[in-house]
Amino acid sequence: MRTSTALVSGLARRVATTVTTPLVPSDYLDMVAPMRAGGDLRGRVLEVVSETPDAVTVVIRPSRGWAGHLPGQYVRIGVDVDGVRRWRAYSLTSESNRRDVISVTVKAIPDGVVSGYITRSLAPGTLVQLDQAVGEFTLGDHRGPTLFLTAGSGVTPVMGMLRNHVDELTDVVVVHSAPNAGAAIFGRELRHLHEQGRIRLVERHTDAEGVLAPADLDAHVPDWDRREAWACGPVAMLDDLEQHWAAAGVGPQLHTERFRPTVVAAGEGGTLSFTRSDAVVEADGATTLLDAGETAGVLMPSGCRMGICFGCVAGLQEGTVRDLRNGETTTATPDEEVRIQTCVSAAAGPCRIDL
């Protein structure tokens, strides 16, 4: 009944839209066959499975244009929240040998508009927009001794690798951190793999034991510096790991995946004026233009939110912004608009943005 209601409601909304919106032939096809071959890439939500109190796995049937993925890659998903289409990138956790069904696992973040909607309100039958899978956080040809270091939702791309490659790898250690056993995404599955002897799991419960420091690895994984390693988790954790690997002279053996860019330089901030939406907001030098605009209610295009997919590009009409990844500044004058990435840029003075 839940699926049928969602399907009927979705169709009703599309029909209602035709009253005020001019249509082209493809729009009529979208109404009756949104998953057709040759149309925009979409997916139908088949199931929403609870993983932890604040994380779910979304099972999706993609339309025929889906080209498949490599374990560890991510996909941009567009969902309509309160009448606004918002895009987010999520790691694929499904088997890569199937193209008829994919899955992503989403953890709610504080004040997260999209993650909150997906974990609490997304229903089977909902139609979502998709992009093709992208990302370089994959195993490639590696099949030797392996170390996975994850925390929180950082386990999601690694679970994609394990579900597809665990029996091809000769020696796998997974070090996973979560506040407690119940908050560990895929905790039950990881423990089962450990009991089967297919991986060795080192589980860190940070509420009781504190955050795992890189130096702690000597006790848990004495040969960490002789393994190829993949790490995904909070920015601070990844920064510490990269410094530790570099200090040991084995930096190239560590591969990291970041859900947010590293902020290495903050500016003075300034007043942001969004010219098309008439919104004005004060932003500090460490807040991205994307976050500041969304807080002000501006419809901000976005994707991966870390400077990779270029889904957040907008026109800087006047002012100066600073790239938070490297500290470089970009300036636009009224007679020369400049395209910038709002997800990795912050105000370095008053700015006018074409949104």
Instruction: Look up the CATH number of the domain holding residue 282.
Output: 3.10.20.30
| Residue 226 belongs to some domain of the structure | yes
Q: What is the pLDDT of residues 220-272, one digit of tens each?
A: 999 999 999 999 999 899 999 999 999 999 999 999 998 876 666 666 899 99
- Supply the pLDDT for residue 20: 41
Residues 344 and 282 placed together within one structural domain of the fold = yes
Instruction: In whole angstroms, give the CA distance from residue 29 to residue 90.
Output: 28
Q: What is the pLDDT of residues 33-58, one digit of tens each?
A: 565 555 689 999 999 999 999 999 99
Instruction: In whole angstroms, give the CA distance from residue 246 to residue 251.
Output: 4
CATH code of the domain covering residue 83: 2.40.30.10
Residues 184 and 216 placed together within one structural domain of the fold = yes
Instruction: In whole angstroms, give the CA distance from residue 44 to residue 61.
Output: 5
Q: What is the pTM of this model?
A: 0.76
Q: What is the pLDDT of residues 133-190, one digit of tens each?
A: 999 999 999 999 999 999 999 999 999 999 999 999 989 999 999 999 999 999 999 9
Residues 283 and 244 placed together within one structural domain of the fold = no
The answer for residues whose C-beta is within 8 angstroms of residue 19's C-beta and 6 or more apart is none
Find the mean pLDDT for residues 286-315: 87
Q: Are 37 and 58 in contact (CB under 8 A)?
A: no
| Residue 263 belongs to some domain of the structure | no
Q: Which residue, 103, 130, 157, sits at the end of a domain?
A: 130
Find the mean pLDDT for residues 324-336: 86
| Residue 310 belongs to some domain of the structure | yes
| Residue 291 belongs to some domain of the structure | yes
Residues 230 and 341 placed together within one structural domain of the fold = no
Instruction: In whole angstroms, give the CA distance from residue 355 to residue 349.
Output: 18
Q: Which residue, 99, 130, 161, sits at the end of a domain?
A: 130
- Supply the pLDDT for residue 302: 84
Q: Which residue, 104, 130, 156, sits at the end of a domain?
A: 130
Residues 118 and 234 placed together within one structural domain of the fold = no
Instruction: In whole angstroms, give the CA distance from residue 131 to residue 343.
Output: 18
Residues 174 and 277 placed together within one structural domain of the fold = no
Instruction: In whole angstroms, give the CA distance from residue 11 to residue 4.
Output: 11
- Supply the pLDDT for residue 239: 93
* 11-42 as b/e: b if 16+ CB within 10 A: eeebeeeeeeeeeeeeeeebeeebbeeeeebb
Residues 236 and 278 placed together within one structural domain of the fold = no
Q: What is the pLDDT of residues 91-112, one digit of tens each?
A: 999 999 999 999 999 999 988 8
Write down the H helix ranges in the chain.
2-17, 25-32, 113-120, 155-165, 187-195, 206-209, 217-220, 235-247, 289-295
Q: Degrees (nearest 5) of the Cα angle 305, 246, 151?
A: 45
DSSP string, 25-63: HHHHHHHH-TT-TTS--EEEEEEEEEEETTEEEEEEEE-
Find the mean pLDDT for residues 311-338: 89
Residues 101 and 195 placed together within one structural domain of the fold = no
Query: Mean pLDDT of all residues in the chain?
Result: 88
| Residue 234 belongs to some domain of the structure | yes
Residues 56 and 113 placed together within one structural domain of the fold = yes
Residues 15 and 122 placed together within one structural domain of the fold = yes
CATH code of the domain covering residue 215: 3.40.50.80
Q: Tokens at residue 66, please?
A: 């889906």
To the nearest 10 degrees (0 to 180), the angle between helices 2-17 and 25-32 is 160
Domain that includes residue 9, residue range? 2-130
Q: Are 64 and 37 in contact (CB under 8 A)?
A: yes
Query: Per the structure, how many domains does the chain have?
Result: 3
- Supply the pLDDT for residue 79: 93
* 90-105 as b/e: b if 16+ CB within 10 A: bbbbbebeeeeebbbb
Residues 87 and 201 placed together within one structural domain of the fold = no
The answer for residues whose C-beta is within 8 angstroms of residue 222's C-beta and 6 or more apart is none
Q: Degrees (nearest 5) of the Cα angle 105, 302, 268?
A: 115
What amino acid is encoded at 258 in this protein?
Answer: R
| Residue 140 belongs to some domain of the structure | no
